[in-house]
Amino acid sequence: MHEYTNGTSNDYKVDQQDPPIDISKFSHNTISYDSKSQTYWFYEKSADAFPGQAFGLQVDQILYHTQSQFQDILVFKSTSFGNVLVLNGIIQCTEKDEFAYQELITHVPIMSHPVPKHVLVIGGGDCGVIRELIKHVEDETVESITMVEIDDMVIKLSTKYLPQMAKYHNHPKVKLHIEDGFKFLRETSHKFDVIITDSSDPEGPAEEFFQVNYFKLLRNALNSNGIVIMQSSENIWLNLKYLKNLIKKCKYVFPNVKFCQCYMPSYTSGQLGLLVATTDESLDLTKPLKSFDKRKESQLFKYYNQLIHQSSFVLPTWAEDYLEV
């Protein structure tokens, strides 16, 4: 296990002189050439997760591609969404809209907890959640941030190609562990007020993050009345049956579970769901305990505000009835 505490920015720099990639000679199962328009396109497809549909972005340039120890990593510059990080063929974030997901997954639990001093982030190698948490360090709400990421290559590439996201990994309040999140949760003796699971979609090793045993590990690592939040990998327009089953698993461990969602045009169907859970049955997760005035909100956030917090939990009738949340 590698631990980086208050390191320098040089800890996570890839070669700045990487030669340009000739897209005409580049081969990847997500990249295709349209001969009519003479343009290259990235397509996100999944016969299991969202059969019969795909999400596409026109590619301007291939920036980087590698097969790390854990996953296929592709970074490309799109013509409309800026730089894009792709893991195992699935878009993780784009420069255009990443703030929506990063802000909601971070600020919903932080603003719902009365005293969120100690925060654990599982995954989140693009460091967007860290960026958002630092806002609460600066207002002296959060005292410590622990981040556990298994693949340091994601951090390295994010610091180079997504610098507006990955700019606080070496902050003095951040303790960074390069290791498996499950191993960390099983072995840690620390308790946290908020745990944010920012994992990849449930394919391959990441599938374990969506099982009952993982929810039990999260609960064991929480302080009394702590809050956890995780991306559900689904929204109400995709695999609703899978989503209902995931909520059921979470409710097996946590008595208070809610589902919210954010608008994300770069994710298939344009939305992504989040599960928020706590052992405190009296806590209304849909209403923030803390809020800022309009001026402060506009300074801190691009997506999140106290009304977005509440409205993100509002579901259409058919989805609410089916999910029973």
Active-site residue, selected from the candidate residues 198, 280, 284, 293: 198
Which amino acid does the sequence have at 82? G
- How far is 64 from 43, CA to CA, in rounded Å? 17
- How far is 263 from 147, CA to CA, in rounded Å? 25
170 contact partners, CB below 8 Å, separation of at least 6? 4, 6, 7, 8, 9, 11, 12
For residue 113 the two structure tokens come to: 């907890």
Any bridge partners for residue 45, and if so which?
A: 54
Contact 96, 81 (CB under 8 A): yes
Q: How are beta strands 54-67 and 39-45 bridged, if at all?
A: antiparallel
Q: What is the largest CA-CA distance in the chain?
A: 60
Nearest to 75 by CA among 156, 149, 129: 156
Which sign, positive or negative, has the C-alpha torsion 146, 147, 148, 151? Answer: negative
SS3 256: strand
For residue 103 the two structure tokens come to: 């802000």
- How far is 267 from 256, CA to CA, in rounded Å? 27
Q: In what order do the strands lie in the sheet with 192-198?
A: 2-5, 174-178, 144-149, 118-123, 192-198, 222-231, 271-278, 256-263
Is 298 buried (19+), middle (13-18) or exposed (0-12) by CB count in 10 A?
Answer: exposed
Calculate the alpha carbon distances from 295 to 83, 133, 192 in Å.
Answer: 30, 19, 31
SS3 133: helix
Q: Is 198 a catalytic residue?
A: yes
User: Looking at the annotation, which residues are catalytic?
Assistant: 198
